[in-house]
Structure 1
Amino acid sequence: MTNPEHTTPAHIAMFSIAAHGHVNPSLEVIRELVARGHRVTYAIPHLFEEKIAETGAEPVLYRTTLPGPDDDPAAWGTTLLDNVEPFLDDAIQTLPQLIEAYEGDGGVGVPDLVIHDITSYPAGVLAHRWGVPAITLSPNLVAWEGYEEEVAKPMWAEPRQTPRGKAYFEKFDAWLKEYGVPKTADEFWGRYDRTLVLIPKALQPQADRVDEKKNTFVGACQGDRAAQGDWERPADAERVLLVSLGSSFTKQPDFYRECVKAFGDLPGWHVVLQVGKHVTEDDLGAVPANVEVRQWVPQLAVLKQADAFLTHAGAGGSQEGLATATPMVAVPQAVDQFGNADMLQGLGVARHVPMAEADAETLREAVLAMADDPEVARRLAVIQRDMAGEGGTKRAADLIEAELPG
C-alpha cells in the first residue's frame, strides 16, 4: 500500500551498474516500492536482469563496458584515474541507450522520479533532462562537511596536474555541456541534493558532521533473502566461522590457504570458506573435513548462525555483520573497505588485520579473541538495537514517496 500522501501509483526509475555491492543494497527498497503499487523500472545490464525481475521491477537493459563481477579484479587497474575513467566512458556510451529506452517509440516512458546508485552518472543527466526529482541511494559512506578539503582535494591534487587527469575532467565537462547540464564535473560528481544512506550511521566516518538535511541514514535494507536459499548449521558444529572477501576481490588463493591452515581441524569449529569464482578447492591443497569450501553462499543466512565473521569489510558485509551481531575480523582489499575496517575496529566489534599480516597464526588469534570477548558481544548488541531504530526498507520507501511530485 502506498504512503497516504501518495495514493496514486507513480513511475519510479532506478539506475545502477552490474555490481553486487551496488545492486544488492537497493533490492529490498525496490521490492517495497513495487509492493506499494508503484511501477518501478530498473536500468541495469543484462547480467542482473533476473535478480531485478524477481523484485517485481521491470528491467531496462543496457550494454555496459564496465568490468563485471566475474571479471578479474585487475581489470579495474591500480590508480585513482584507472578506477574512475571507466565510469565516465561507460556513462558516455550508456546515456544514448537509456534515452532511447525511456523516450523512444516503444520505450518505457519518462518517470515521475529518478532514484540511482552513486555510480550511475547518466541518472543525474536524465533527471535534469526530464525535469524530475532525483534521489541518490548510497551503499557506503557519504561526504561530511569538510570532506572536500580533508579528503578529496589531497587525493586528487596530483592526478589533476597530469595530462591524463586534465583530459578526464575536460571530457566530463564536455559531456555534461552536450546534454545541457549547467554544472562542471566538480559540481555534478558526488554533489547530491537528496541521499538515502543505506548503511547504519555507526559505519559513517565523521557522522556528526554529515548534513542530515540532505542525507538520511536509513540503515540496512534487508529482507528475508529467501530467494537466495538457506544454509544449515552442521549438527556437530559448536561454533561457526564465515570467511568471505565479497564478490569482487576474491582472487586470493594464498589468503584462503592461510585460512585453511588457521582453522582447519580447530576443535569445535566449522568453517564456511567462500572463495568466489577465481579459486577452486583444488587450489587450496588438503582441506580438512570441518572446512566447507563454496564459490558462493547466502551470506546473511550463514551470519545469522555464525559466531565469527572474517570479512573484507565491504559496506554490505560490514552492516550484515553488525545486523546479526557477529564479531568480525576485517581484512580489507580495496576502496572503502579500509575505512570500514577502521570504523569497525573503532567501534570495538572487529579487529583490522592488513592483508600483508594475514597469516594463519594472526588470523586464528584474532578470530578467537573477538569471538570470546563478552565486551565485543555487548557492543554488538547495542549497535544491533540502534540499527533496528533507523527504519531500514520501509523508511527508505517512505522517504522516496515523500519526494514524488505533488
Structure 2
Amino acid sequence: MTSTERAHIAMFSIAAHGHVNPSIEVVRELVAREHRVSYAIPASFADTVAATGAEPVTYTSTLPTDEDPEAWGTELIDNIEPFLDDAVQVLPQLAAAFAGDEPDLVIHDITAYPAPVLAHRWGVPAVSLWPNLVPWEGYEEEVAEPMFADLKASERGRAYYARFEAWLAENGVDTHPDRFVSRPRKAVVLIPKVLQPNADRVDESVFTFVGACQGERGEQGEWEPPAGAEKVLLVSLGSAFTKQPDFYRACVEAFGGLPGWHVVLQIGKHVGAAELGELPGNIEVHSWVPQLSVLRRADAFVTHGGAGGGQEGLATGTPMVAVPQAVDQFGNADMLASLGVARHLPMADATPGALRAAVLELVGDPEVARRAAEIRLGMAAEGGTARAADLIEAELPAGLRAPSSS
C-alpha cells in the first residue's frame, strides 16, 4: 500500500446466487490486497461472504428469493417493483449500519439500489459490478422504450415511476429512474465481451469488460467422473427456475443408457429425485452440484442460459444446449448460439429426441470444438478477477490506492 491506512470498500448486493456469485472472487481479491471490505447482504448469504475475508453487514430484505421464484409474478411491473419497494426499506437500515464507518468507495450489484444513493450521500465514488449484458448506445430507443411503453402508460406503471423519482429526489439524486438503473457512473462488467450484444456500441469509458471472475471454488467441493465414463454431460437450470420435473424426465429419457455417456443432473430444491422415476445407472441426480468443477470435466452442458452458467460454459470450452426459462436467458441463448458453441432449444421443443440430437450434434462437430477453444482463450486474456480489482482500486482516493498487481 502507498499509505499505512487501509481502504474501506463497501460492497452491496441482494440475496440471489446470480448476483452474489459473480462478485465473490473480486471481493476475495480485494481482501487479499489488504483492503478492508464490508459486504452488505441478507443473512442467508453471510457465510458465503465471510468465507472471502470480507465482513458481512446483514440487512433484512423483502425481495423474493431463489426459494420462491414464483413470487416474482408474471408481468414486467411485477419484476421491477420489488426492487424499489425493497430499496426504500433497506436504505435506512444500511445508513444506520455504516454510520460512523462510512467507506472510501462503494461497489455494488446492479440490483442494489440503495448503494449509489448512499455513495452520493457519503460523497464517495461508486462502481457498479455488472453481472450481465449492458446497455449500448441506442439501447433505450431500440429495446427499453418498446419494452416499457405499455408499463409507462398504465396507472400502476405511472405510480411506480412517480414513487421512484420521489425517492431519488428525497435523497438528492437528480437522475431519472431508468438512467439510475442502467447508466452507472462507472461499471466493471463481469461477463466476457463475446456475450455482449452490439459490443461495438458500448461506451467503454463507462463499461469495462473483464470476463469471468470464477476462481478455483475449491470450497464448493470437487466432482470426479466415475470410472469408465467416456463423456460427461451436465444438465442444470441454475438456482431459481428449477421447478421443471417434466424437463428433467425428458433428460432422463434422452440420455439414460446412452453408450459412453455419464450424466450429472442438477434438479434444484423444488423437485425430488423420486419424481423422475427409475433412473438408469449412467445418471446421477443432485439438488446442487459444484458446477464449475463438473464443467471442467464435461463434454456438453444443457443449461438455462443464465449469465453465470453461460460464461462458465464458455470459460471451460464446453458446448452448450441452452433451454432458457426467463428474463435475459432468451437473449443469452441466442447470443451463445450465434457464437457457434451452442444450440438454442426452446422449452416447448425440448423433447427427449431434440435434446439428444442437439447434444450429439454439438459434440460431434469439430468446428464447435475449435470455436469453443478460441473463445476460452480470448476470455482468459480479458483479465478476470485481477483486472476487476485493478479497476476498482483505480477509483479509490489517491492516498489509499495500492500499487497495481497486474
TM-score with structure 2 setting the length: 0.97
Counterpart Cα distance in 1 of 2:175 and 2:313: 39
- The offset of 1:183, in angstroms, is 2.1
- Give 1:4-403 correspondences, 5 Å limit: 8-71=5-68, 73-103=69-99, 109-403=101-395
Letter in 2 for 1:86: P
Q: Percent identity over the alignment?
A: 69
User: 1:338-386: per-residue Cα shift (whole Å, max 9, x none)?
Assistant: 1110011000000000000001000000001001111000001110111
Counterpart Cα distance in 2 of 1:7 and 1:51: 29
Counterpart Cα distance in 1 of 2:82 and 2:177: 15
- The offset of 1:185, in angstroms, is 1.6
User: 1:308-338: per-residue Cα shift (whole Å, max 9, x none)?
Assistant: 0000010010000001000110000011111
**8 Å contact kept, 2:130–2:190:** yes
> What is the Cα-based RMSD across aligned positions, in Å?
1.0
- The offset of 1:7, in angstroms, is 7.3
Letter in 1 for 2:97: A
Letter in 1 for 2:162: E
- The offset of 1:8, in angstroms, is 4.7
- The offset of 1:9, in angstroms, is 2.3
User: 1:201-232: per-residue Cα shift (whole Å, max 9, x none)?
Assistant: 00000001101111100000011100000001
User: 1:154-201: per-residue Cα shift (whole Å, max 9, x none)?
Assistant: 000011000000000001011111222122323322120100000000
Counterpart Cα distance in 2 of 1:318 and 1:346: 13
Letter in 2 for 1:101: A
Counterpart Cα distance in 2 of 1:8 and 1:99: 23
Counterpart Cα distance in 2 of 1:127 and 1:267: 57
Counterpart Cα distance in 1 of 2:289 and 2:67: 16
User: 1:29-53: per-residue Cα shift (whole Å, max 9, x none)?
Assistant: 0000000000000000000000000
Counterpart Cα distance in 2 of 1:377 and 1:137: 31
Letter in 2 for 1:89: D
Match of 2:404 in 1: none
Letter in 2 for 1:15: F
Counterpart Cα distance in 1 of 2:179 and 2:324: 30
User: 1:100-119: per-residue Cα shift (whole Å, max 9, x none)?
Assistant: 1001xxx6x10000000000
User: 1:279-308: per-residue Cα shift (whole Å, max 9, x none)?
Assistant: 011111111111100000000000000000
Letter in 1 for 2:334: D
Letter in 2 for 1:27: I
Secondary structure in 2 matching 1:189: helix
**8 Å contact kept, 2:110–2:181:** no
Counterpart Cα distance in 1 of 2:380 and 2:40: 30
Letter in 2 for 1:346: S
Total equivalences in the alignment: 398
Letter in 2 for 1:25: P
Letter in 2 for 1:80: L
- After TM superposition, where is structure 1 displaced by more than 4 Å over at least 4 residues in a row? none
Counterpart Cα distance in 2 of 1:74 and 1:396: 34
**How has the CA–CA distance of structure 1 residues 357 and 62 changed in structure 2, closer, same or farther, with 3 Å as cutoff?**
same
Counterpart Cα distance in 2 of 1:121 and 1:161: 24
User: 1:40-94: per-residue Cα shift (whole Å, max 9, x none)?
Assistant: 00000000000000000000000000111122x2111111100000000000010
**How has the CA–CA distance of structure 1 residues 7 and 236 changed in structure 2, closer, same or farther, with 3 Å as cutoff?**
farther
Counterpart Cα distance in 2 of 1:135 and 1:191: 11
Runs (5+) with no aligned partner, structure 1:
none
Letter in 1 for 2:91: L
Counterpart Cα distance in 1 of 2:370 and 2:179: 43
Secondary structure in 1 matching 2:128: strand
